[in-house]
Structure 1
Amino acid sequence: MAHNTELGRRGEELAAGHLEARGMVVLERNWRCRHGEIDIVARDGRETVFVEVKTRSAEGYGHPFEAITARKLARMRRLALAWCEQSEGPAGRIRLDAVAILAPAGGPAVVEHLVGVG
């Protein structure tokens, strides 16, 4: 389990760096409430973006995006609403994004970003 935690943490670091390189501002990481956790909350211009990050070391269990199901997207929408209710100031438009990280041991990571997944 420690390997998965470390891999997930590395993936979130890579995802945050990717988003910032695209000009987005990371507002929060690993925001939690009683309903669950949002990996990254960011600002992209006037939009507040809620980002699900999925990291894998290989595709043996499928591509990371395959883990983002309709049920997961519904949960992300509920969590985004909860974040908006607790945040200070207007959220503006909201958007759900997904970032997939393939990070093989000893090799370079590949970052894929899907905008507006739900």
Structure 2
Amino acid sequence: MNATGALGRYGERLAVRRLGEAGMAVLAVNWRCGRGGEIDIVARDGDAVVLCEVKTRRAGRFQHPLAALTPAKAERLRRLAGCWLERHGGPPPGGVRIDLVGVVLPRRGAPVVEHVRGAA
């Protein structure tokens, strides 16, 4: 795994922990659909299914991770949500939500993890 991949996996582990702290149950990590794509985290929040896109950045080098969810990425997540629902029995009573978890790794100190509900 290259450095970028390792950084992303670290951010996903932090995101899983944050979602758990928020009372969400993680159902899958790095779930792949044959239609070309991956959902970083699939979780359950009450009676809703939540698809989470995780973006991890080192502080100061790139745009803030919460700015990285483009319309094209949001559309890809919607398509993947359809694939998840087809394979897991259709939509849950609480519906489906797309969240974004942004992780910023400062040069010093603890990572900053932000969770935006209903980002797309």
- Normalising by the smaller structure, the TM-score range is over 0.9
SS across alignment from 2:16: helix
CA distance in 2, matches of 1:51, 1:73: 11
Q: 2:84 maps to what in 1? A: 83
Unaligned runs of 5+ in 1: none
Instruction: Output the amino acid matched with 2:15.
Output: A
What percent of counterpart residues are identical?
49
2:67 corresponds to 1:72: no
1:114 aligns with 2:116: yes
Counterpart amino acid of 2:10? R
Structure 2 CA distance, aligned partners of 1:36 and 1:105?
A: 31
Instruction: Select between 27-36 and 98-107 the one with higher mean Cα deviation.
Output: 98-107
Which sections of structure 2, spanning at least 5 residues, go unmatched?
Answer: none
The structural deviation recorded for 1:105 is 4.6
Structure 1 runs of 4+ with >4 Å offset: none
Structure 1 equivalent of residue 12 of structure 2 = 12
Letter in 1 for 2:13: E
- In the comparison of the two structures, how many residue pairs are matched? 118
**SS of structure 2 residue aligned to 1:61:** coil
Q: State the AA in 2 paired with 1:112.
A: E
Query: How far 1:88 sits from its partner (Å)?
Result: 4.2
State the shift of 1:89 in Å. 6.4
Q: Where does residue 97 of structure 1 map in the other structure? A: 99
What does residue range 50-61 of structure 1 map to in structure 2 within 5 Å? 50-61=51-62
